[in-house]
Structure 1
């Protein structure tokens, strides 16, 4: 049985805009890198449909890069997105990552679940910290989309 770790946050925006931030390259490139890392929009491949490919490059402050890849497995606008994700694109199919968007008072509750696989507790904590940084920047993206 797959064990997932979970992050849940509420964003002050309609879930359609949050879903757009997850699936449109011009928004994704901003929050996926966070303020500290560049994700050149031209590096993105986002074929957002079941079976569609995902690829992105993160350019780190020290000049190193991380190549990401995956495949979308479920696309149900504006409530659910599922994909695999790996930073080892030449030899790893990636781990399942699920995004669920629920309408709540004041905005959208975003729940991100990722397969724990063989992650140590420290790796889980670091990944959750990374997702929190992503969502911090995603919140700024969706606020700009709403004009708030």
Structure 2
């Protein structure tokens, strides 16, 4: 059975450099990373933004306090155009590969997020991951509008 993948496109009313920073600076990431109903405290985020550098973040459920750690390794960093990184639960077996591209639209930014490598035999996980990222990007949209 092959792995599953998905792509999400968004356009932000913000310059490409700022949208790229939202992905690579902890003070920005703390404002949007995770679906609605979670918080990602700044002190849970660490980022070494270079190929081979690690990143970590921990979402915390607003209603139950449950912790959802995630992290991975940057594989490619081309500022402000492209990020490629692994994504999964630290120490877990299953790791997906995320590719994020940022296209300059003259003051706005088109972002394409592609996540590949999700297990094909777990539809519930796939649906939760896809909807979770979409919800996080709603928060990213609000963060860019409120900057």
**CA-atom RMSD, angstroms?**
2.0
| Aligned position for 2:126 | 124
Structure 1 runs (4+) greater than 4 angstroms displaced: none
Q: TM-score, normalised by structure 1?
A: 0.86
Please give the per-residue CA displacement for 1:41-60, whole angstroms capped at 9, x wherever unaligned: 11111111110111111111
Q: How does 1:64-83 map to 2 (within 5 A)?
A: 64-83=66-85
List gaps (5 residues or longer) in structure 1. none
What SS does the corresponding residue of 1:42 show, helix, strand or coil?
helix
What SS does the corresponding residue of 1:33 show, helix, strand or coil?
coil
| Aligned position for 1:107 | 108
How many residue pairs were aligned?
144
Distance 1:126 1:93 in 2: 15
Q: Which has the higher strand share?
A: 2
Q: TM-score, normalised by structure 2?
A: 0.87
Report the CA distance shift for 1:86/1:20 in structure 2 as closer, same or farther (over 3 A): same
In terms of mean alpha carbon deviation, does 117-126 or 63-72 score higher? 117-126
List gaps (5 residues or longer) in structure 2. none
In terms of mean alpha carbon deviation, does 16-25 or 58-67 score higher? 58-67
